[in-house]
Structure 1
Amino acid sequence: MTRKILLLSVSAGAGHVRAAEAIRASAALSGEALEVRHLDVMDYVPAGFRKLYADTYLKLVAKLPALWGYLYQSSHEAKPDSTTEKIRRSVERLSTRPLRKEIAAFAPDAIVCTHFLPAEMLDRMLRQGDLACPVWVQVTDFDLHRMWVHEHMRGYFAANEEVAFRMRAAGIPATNIHVTGIPIMPVFGEMLERQICAAEYGLDPARTTVLLMGGGAGMGSLDTVAQSLLQIGGDFQLIVLAGRNVAALEALQTLAAQHPGRLVALGFTDKVERLMSCADLVITKPGGLSTSECLAKGLPMILNAPIPGQEERNADYLLEQGVALKACDAVTLEYRVRLLLENPAKLADMRNKARALGRPDAGKQVLKTVLGQ
């Protein structure tokens, strides 16, 4: 008998969607008789709500990060029965009626949420007896915000033991908590040949390689950062991923022409694992998914200007574990890169610690738990 699993994410940032896709990819490799469907909640809400929820988030983190940090903390501390929270839940409930119809039509045997919005909506349905199947929640950061916590979930998946501790402190029963890591695509757990991957991008596999990632939206002045890094002495090559930021990619390609053999500029790619296989150091925003991918590949990180809120919490964890350094501005970033390039022993120590923390099979472990194996 084929079992049906529904994955629900929200495209406010790329991480929640990528976590759901990672679970789906693990299901495809499992050999189990499964029908797995992944829905982005934003595809089932009015355009006005989608713009408010997803677009506003991206604008806040890019333009007003301090405000986003304030909202993150204030919403974490808000009482669930406050007037503001009641209004927010009412708006969300009215905006997700098409999604509830889609869930009923698919009739899943289990649901996994990789964002708190669908978890909150389904908690109400479970409480009212409008949903019979179990609902699981995958937290996608190295932190736990209050909005993830709901009473009627079958279980929670935590990135590490500290997040699990926070879950217990929030009232989630210990038996409902599973420390799996954050799901990433299974390919990040594969051992890829550096020489082969480097040849695909015209890179020298013998040279030290730094990978600069701007996220799926390509946020940040990547060409300015790249220009600064290329002024550093030493024989290293630089890969820069601009994501879907066309203007940034064009500026980077112009810069690459001025530095032949030192800079490879790319737009959005689904082959990040192959580029990571060429790298010795990654400069990245500290999103839960991106940093989990780095850990799985055993890559030291420099965390570039984390935004207040979940990125700062992620950064704190990675710094404490000795797998990353943090750069708050361009000057600090240049210093950190110089420090690591001039200290290969420290870079090697960070690499070993990163590899020990990596959980490339997180998606597989989530799936096994949901299936009761």
Structure 2
Amino acid sequence: MRVLQSPSPDHTSTPSSTGTPSTDTATRPLRALVITGSVGAGHNGAARELVERLSARGVEATYRDYLDALPRRYQRLLRDGYAFSAGRAPRVFDWLFRNEERDSVVRSLTLYLCRLASRELARWTGGERYDVVVTTFPFAAQSLGMLKESGALTAPVVCYLTDPAPHRLWVHPLVDVHLTVTQATATEGSARYRVPMSAAGPLAPAAFAAPVDPAARRALRAELGVPADQRMALLTTGSMGLGDVLAGVRALRTVPGTVPVVLCGRNEQLRRRISALSGVVALGWRTDVPALMAAADVLVHNAGGLSLTEAMVAGLPAVSYEVLSGHGRANAATLAAAGLAPWPRDPARLAQAIARQAARGRVHLPPLPEHRQAAAVVTELALRRREELRTAAGHPPRPARRERPTVIAEPAANSARIS
């Protein structure tokens, strides 16, 4: 079930008939719209966390599902098409992924969908309703860029890349700021697409960063049936349980001294199949993932999505294995090149990688200064926009704030366009 908030009617301000911002627009609390996409759970998770962080800063933040901007048949195409191709037709999915990187029929069809959705997005963001619009979903980045290009959207737009590997679908030259989880993604994306990107840190609940409680860790491992002298390898498969999970489980069973604990998401059929294997713990949808990561010694992932981000926050060392085609392979390559997660290709190398990663212990990402984190950057853009509206409405500018200014990359519109 998707749990998504929609902007309430009282979040709507009425533009002045003279074309200048109304007094209400220039003086009301800051407002932000975060657009997610309910294809898997990763985009939603990042959006929810950003809304919470913005709300803590006094910003009226809400989020909406990009798929709601599309006709029902296209909603099914995106959601079911992803699950089918990524899970059952990996070569097709890889072909689609690669063709999105160049001018092709595939990209033309994608941009058609984005243009179709942009009509509804224009209604969501019309007038001066929001001071900033953020997306955690790549298709929405294209639609919002189209609205900026047409002049239908004048508020600043932020794209937060939830994937470790940058991809052309995430990038639009008229999106004002592109943010990434790690510097590795920002460096790779800036070089490849000639659009500035900035690392803004992970968007994961604070529970993942909590210190490990040894007693709680021992209790949970005992509950799961993991012996104290064995490693616990937490294998994540996303909310849909996609990929060749059984191959990954079989490989993990050959790793000496290791007990695979598999998160099957909402894929009950997969959970039943894995439960039939000896020496493996198969779990369905869980809400105690922070505790599971605290109990584990290593994460094994297949796509580099939200679970990988959460593991980085928890300091849980990770290994990529039996990754999904398309974005899964691209993510694994970026993570391996950056030294964030090795990508072994066979059971023998998997065993070596797990032993090395588990021996490292907990290694957390270096913390970013608060003013560079996603919520601070988004808030700063909203404040800049508000000052523009206040000036246009005839209000005197507010006194300059004395705290350290937020570092924001130059707007992408000033950079070379994507070729």
TM-score, scaled to structure 2 = 0.73
Residue 10 of structure 1 deviates from its aligned partner by 1.5
Q: Which amino acid aligns with 1:104?
A: G
User: Gaps (5+ residues) in structure 1?
Assistant: none
Deviations 1:179-226 (A, max 9, x none): 123422332222231421442461468342121222111124546654
In 1, Cα distance between the equivalents of 2:106 and 2:266?
Answer: 35
Conservation of the 8 A alpha-carbon contact between 2:243 and 2:323: no
User: Aligned match of 1:5 in 10, 32, 37?
Assistant: 32
After TM superposition, the structure 1 = structure 2 runs for residues 1-373 of structure 1, keeping only pairs within 5 Å, are 1-28=28-55, 30=56, 32-78=57-103, 85-86=107-108, 88-104=110-126, 107-169=129-191, 170-172=193-195, 174=196, 177-200=197-220, 202-203=223-224, 206-207=228-229, 208-220=231-243, 222=245, 225-226=248-249, 229-230=252-253, 233-234=256-257, 236-255=258-277, 263-328=280-345, 332-333=346-347, 335-339=348-352, 343=355, 347-349=358-360, 351=361, 355-357=363-365, 365-372=373-380, 373=406
Q: Are the structure 2 counterparts of residues 360 and 209 from structure 1 closer, same or farther at C-alpha, using a change threshold of 3 Å?
A: farther
Deviates more, 1:240-249 or 1:282-291: 282-291
Secondary structure of the equivalent of 1:370?
helix
Q: Does the residue aligned with 2:154 lie in a helix, a strand or coil?
A: coil
Task: Give the secondary structure class of the aligned counterpart of 1:371.
Answer: helix
Structure 2, unpaired ranges of 5+? 1-27, 381-405, 407-419
Q: Letter of the aligned partner of 2:58 in structure 1? A: A
* Partners of 1:27 and 1:34 within 8 A in 2: yes
- 3-state secondary structure, aligned to 1:137: strand
SS at match of 2:125: helix
Structure 1 length as normaliser, TM-score?
0.82
Deviation at 1:250, TM superposition (A): 2.4
Whole-angstrom CA distance in 1 between matches of 2:270 and 2:352: 27
Contact kept in structure 2, 1:221 and 1:248, CA below 8 Å? no
Which shifted more, 141-150 or 317-326? 317-326
Deviations 1:86-137, CA, capped at 9 Å, x for gaps: 5543343234533432333892211111122212112222222212211101
8 Å contact 2:266–2:284 — kept in the other structure? yes
Partners of 2:209 and 2:147 in 1: CA distance: 37
Say which SS state the counterpart of residue 50 (structure 1) adopts.
helix
Query: Is the Cα contact below 8 Å between 1:6 and 1:38 reproduced in 2?
Result: yes
Partner Cα separation in structure 2 for residue 363 and residue 336 of structure 1: 40
Q: Are the counterparts in 2 of residues 217 and 242 from structure 1 also a CA contact under 8 Å?
A: yes
Matches of 2:261 and 2:117 in 1, distance apart?
41
